[in-house]
Structure 1
Amino acid sequence: MAQLLEAAASVFCTTGYTAASTNAIAREAGVSPGTLYQFFPNKEAIAIELGDRLMHEMRTTYGEALGPVAPATTLEDAVGAAVDRFVDFNCEHPVFFALMHGPDIPGRIAEEHDALHLTLVSRVEGLLSAFLPDAPAAGITRTAQVCLGIYKAGLELILAHEGAERAAYVQELKNVLFRYVEPLAEGRALATDALATRP
């Protein structure tokens, strides 16, 4: 099964979900289509299994990336650490971006991705609240949504490059996010009292 999922990830990244076929996945895995059908009835079942595993791992990643921050942490350091964690995950699993952000996401994966996105917005709101303790809730939500939109756009550029050029795009993404949030936070270090009230 692991071999088939790895092959599917490669095919989905190369051709996209819609153009992928079970025959192409079987060929990439070095097995017959009959062997593939012993594990999965169709392409959607493969994508759902792969998506479930990736989303579970992504939840662990954002739990670590957006967990409690030490009181002396600066906004720039917090942004940098979160971006590094998420970019590393997506670079290790490029199929996550291909499946979750493509125009042809299978239905159940789309629903789970929407739920994951809402949870991620909530976690980003928690991080931002620590740096923007006086901001209204609606403002924090808007800022969190814009941060995620910026991140998604930047991630597409990052995944399209490798080596030193990829690292340069990662730094650009950190700069953009920091410069967007920094005026709102007025360059303050993390407020200890805000940490105490974080969910």
Structure 2
Amino acid sequence: MSEADERPRRRQARGERRVAQLLHAAASVFCAVGYTASSTNAIAREAGVSPGTLYQFFPNKEAIAVELSAQLIKEMEAAHGRVFTSEIARLPLDRLIDEVTDPFIEFNTANPALLALIKGPDAPGRVTDDHGVLHDSLLEGVTELLAVRKPSLSRMERALIAEVSFAMFKTGLNLVMQHEDGEKDVYVRELKTMLHRYLAPYVGIGAVPAP
């Protein structure tokens, strides 16, 4: 490959690194002060670049939030595809809860910016819409787990149990995210205990044999 061919590739690679740098900085700023109080100047300062450099890649704060949210949601979708399986549905209930909740707790702990964006009162509409699609997808995954684990449940029963379970998890996750280290572990245990006590009468606690 000639030097002339290599130059566009190097420029593209530098651009991708700069975008990643700006998104990382934006995540830090959104977590620190929230979406509403953040600014492109603060994001540029956090990234160690000039505002002019930021504007070469993003026209405004909203565009940054939309790109960051889309990236995080894509990563979360990849994680949830690994947990909503028939094999996990048939595990003992305590292990099922571990397998389903742990990846999402770990993801949100590592990426608190997603919750910071979603909870912002003036989050961009695209962010809210994308999160709504993710919410529906996750809820469908929980419903499918229930269908595999307890086929005798009616469609309405599965939908109700899934919705209540998911609401309990989201509420518990907000509490988990407000604490650190050992305290966080205590809240995780309480969250799982709550889910276990709610689900056990409906789906049992033991492993479910494959048909």
Matched residue SS, 1:154: helix
Matched residue SS, 1:64: coil
Inter-partner Cα distance in structure 1 for 2:63 and 2:163: 31
Question: Which 5+ residue runs of structure 1 have no aligned equivalent?
Answer: 194-199
Matched residue SS, 1:34: helix
Q: Which structure would you say has the larger Rg?
A: 2
1:159-174 matches, within 5 Å, as 159-174=177-192
Given the two structures, how large is their TM-score scaled by the length of structure 1?
Answer: 0.92
Q: 1:158 aligns with which of 156, 168, 176?
A: 176
Q: What's the counterpart of residue 83 of structure 1?
A: 101
> Which amino acid counterpart does residue 181 of structure 1 have in structure 2?
L
1:1-199 matches, within 5 Å, as 1-69=19-87, 73-193=91-211
Q: What is the deviation of 1:72?
A: 5.6
1:23-51 Cα deviation digits (max 9, x unpaired): 11111111111111001000000001101
> Which amino acid counterpart does residue 175 of structure 2 have in structure 1?
L
Inter-partner Cα distance in structure 2 for 1:28 and 1:76: 42
Aligned length: 193
| RCO higher in structure (CA 8 A, sep ≥6) | 1
Whether the 8 Å CA contact 1:11–1:24 is kept in 2: the answer is yes
1:35-83 Cα deviation digits (max 9, x unpaired): 1100100000000110110010010111112223258611111011111
> Which amino acid counterpart does residue 139 of structure 1 have in structure 2?
E
Whether the 8 Å CA contact 2:34–2:120 is kept in 1: the answer is yes
Q: What is the deviation of 1:19?
A: 1.1
Aligned-pair Cα RMSD in Å? 1.4
Q: What is the deviation of 1:112?
A: 1.1
Inter-partner Cα distance in structure 1 for 2:164 and 2:135: 13
Mark the CA change 1:45 to 1:75 in structure 2 (over 3 Å): closer, same or farther: same
Whether the 8 Å CA contact 2:89–2:149 is kept in 1: the answer is no
Given the two structures, how large is their TM-score scaled by the length of structure 2?
Answer: 0.87
Inter-partner Cα distance in structure 1 for 2:66 and 2:95: 35
Whether the 8 Å CA contact 1:69–1:78 is kept in 2: the answer is no
Inter-partner Cα distance in structure 2 for 1:85 and 1:44: 28
